[in-house]
Structure 1
Amino acid sequence: MTRPAPRIELRQAAYEVIATATAQQLPRETGGILLGYQEDANVVVTHALVVDGQGASTHRYVRDDVKANTLLAEFLAQRADDDPTGYVGEWHSHPAPSGPSPTDLAAMRAMAREHDGPIALLVHAPGGTGPFSGLITRRQRWGRVTGKAATVLPPPQRFKALGPLPEGAVRPDGAVFISYRQSDGSPQA
């Protein structure tokens, strides 16, 4: 019997932090840490923190470990004692559509060797057909580390999709510029 791929469920707050930081840093990579909890073989990401990376470029991001630990400690200090939210992994962006690199995979395996639970990696590469790639690594018995591609479930869209354009919005003989004016409530609007 084949088990389904593990999932990384991305909640709205985490999604917005990741998407905003990625857009602000393009064309450079950026990243940070993921916070949430484990649910069976899956990881639920409720929050994401942005951690500056020294020397970030279009193909490289290395997070500042000291800053990451400080941000994590500050975040956890604000949580209730019975809150299950904790460190669940790492995220970073790729300016061009691509999944985890061999360097990403090696780094996640090294982290999993030092951690008791599963560690998620989320790569955000806007512009592709699937903007997120996921991986969950974990240490098994005898120190062996496994990594499995994970299905990333983004949060539901907050706005419904736009329908078809109204009749006459596109003319067959050329482009049409349409300007919509939004009223600010003043009589001049």
Structure 2
Amino acid sequence: MTRPATRIELRRDAYEVIASATAQQLPRETGGILLGYREDANVVVTHALVVDGQEASTHRYVRDDVTANACLAAFLAQRAGDDPTGYVGEWHSHPAPSGPSPTDVAAMQATAREHDGPLALLVYAPGGADPFFGLITRRQRWGRVTSKKAAVLPPPPRFEELGPLPDGAVRRDGPVG
């Protein structure tokens, strides 16, 4: 029996926060925490919070843990008691298309040692054919931690892609006045 591929499903609100924060901070990296819920070995990301990075640069993002904990507590305080939404991982951007660095993987593995269930890492690098790189990290029996590449399912586009202009839309003698 083959297991289905592990996946990270990204909902629209989370996607828009990540894309907007990344665009505002380019060429520096930015990042934050992911909130959502788990479905078996998969992670559904419903919200993303931006957390300021300490001395973020074009090749490094280190989130401020005190700020992250305060943001997470404030977010969860606004949720209903029976809401399953909780901490499911981390995200950050790369200004050039690339997946997580060895430092990124090691940091997720350290975080996973403290949590039950899978944790997601999303790296967003706009400009490439596939701007998201996903990783699922989890603590196994006997404290062993594993990381596995995950398919990232972004939300469907909000608008239809524009096609070519129809004939006569642009005049040869200048703009339409």
Q: Which runs of 5+ in 1 are unaligned?
A: 182-189
Which has the greater radius of gyration?
A: 1
Q: Which runs of 5+ in 2 are unaligned?
A: none
Task: Give the match for residue 106 of structure 2.
Answer: 106
TM superposition score normalised by structure 2? 0.94
Task: Give the match for residue 51 of structure 2.
Answer: 51
**Number of aligned residue pairs:** 177
SS at match of 1:74: helix
CA shift at 1:132, angstroms? Answer: 0.4
Q: Does 1:120 align with 2:125?
A: no
Cα RMSD over matched residues? 1.9
CA distance in 2, matches of 1:79, 1:109: 28
Task: Give the match for residue 86 of structure 1.
Answer: 86
Task: Give the match for residue 38 of structure 2.
Answer: 38
CA distance in 2, matches of 1:48, 1:120: 12
SS at match of 1:17: helix
CA distance in 2, matches of 1:25, 1:51: 12
Task: Give the match for residue 135 of structure 2.
Answer: 135
CA shift at 1:126, angstroms? Answer: 0.2
The 1:79/1:179 distance shift into structure 2, 3 A limit, reads farther
Q: Does 1:146 align with 2:146?
A: yes
Residue 131 of structure 1 aligns with an amino acid whose one-letter code is: P
Contact 1:29 1:92 in 2 (8 A): yes
CA shift at 1:170, angstroms? Answer: 8.3
Runs of 4 or more above 3 Å deviation: 168-171, 176-181
